[in-house]
Structure 1
Amino acid sequence: MTAAAVRPVSIKIDEDAKARLKRLADARHRTSHWLMREAITQYVDREEKREAFRQDTLKAWEEYRATGLHVTADEADAWLAQLEQGNDIEPPACHA
């Protein structure tokens, strides 16, 4: 990230949160600013992954509704059990 891309943003937090942040920053030998940036980055990364998963789920549901193709829970469980045992087998074929 270049210095030109960084823009200051202010947030309002209560005094208790500010004190807790300061104590944690001191314990980690970091600045409060660094901890806040790290927390925001981790949160955004996690939420982007969660949203991608949600979108994949909606897409899969729509595909199922359009085609009816699926595997049963028993078929999926049997395949996963084989993978767990170290057998690299193909997933079960989808059927209507």
Structure 2
Amino acid sequence: MASSTSIKLDDDMKGRVRHLAEVRRRTPHWIMREAIAQYVEREEEREALRQDTLKAWEEYQGTGLRATAEEVDQWLASWGTENELPAPECHK
């Protein structure tokens, strides 16, 4: 179920939303809902990546296991070739 929420926009932004709505043949309401949905989705993905990064950092601090940038670069460069390499082993 959807509920009403209000947002205050300055005149310039309000005009920009209206103009975009006109050229896209949408309503200003649709433009704002779409913008908010895209923003929230993008920020949720960024937060998930941030959490994954923090978890990986904590794991590295606990174990010291890692692969060097050179090892990873060689592995990635081999993708799609006849001599595709396996993922590098983590080491200290």
Q: What TM-score range do you get, normalising by the shorter chain?
A: over 0.9
SS of the residue corresponding to residue 90 of structure 1 reads coil
Aligned-pair CA distance for 1:89: 3.9
Aligned-pair CA distance for 1:16: 1.1
RMSD (CA atoms)? 1.4
Alignment of 1:23-34 (within 5 A): 23-34=19-30
Aligned-pair CA distance for 1:83: 1.3
**Structure-1 residue corresponding to 2:7:** 11
Count of matched residue pairs: 92
SS of the residue corresponding to residue 75 of structure 1 reads helix
**Structure-2 residue corresponding to 1:41:** 37
Query: Which ranges of 4 or more aligned residues in structure 1 deviate by more than 2 Å?
Result: 84-90
Unaligned runs of 5+ in 2: none
Describe the shift of the 1:78–1:37 C-alpha distance in structure 2 as closer, same or farther (beyond 3 A): same
Q: TM-score, normalised by structure 1?
A: 0.89
One-letter amino acid of the structure 2 residue matched with residue 39 of structure 1:
A
Q: TM-score, normalised by structure 2?
A: 0.93
**Structure-2 residue corresponding to 1:82:** 78
Matched, 1:92 2:88: yes
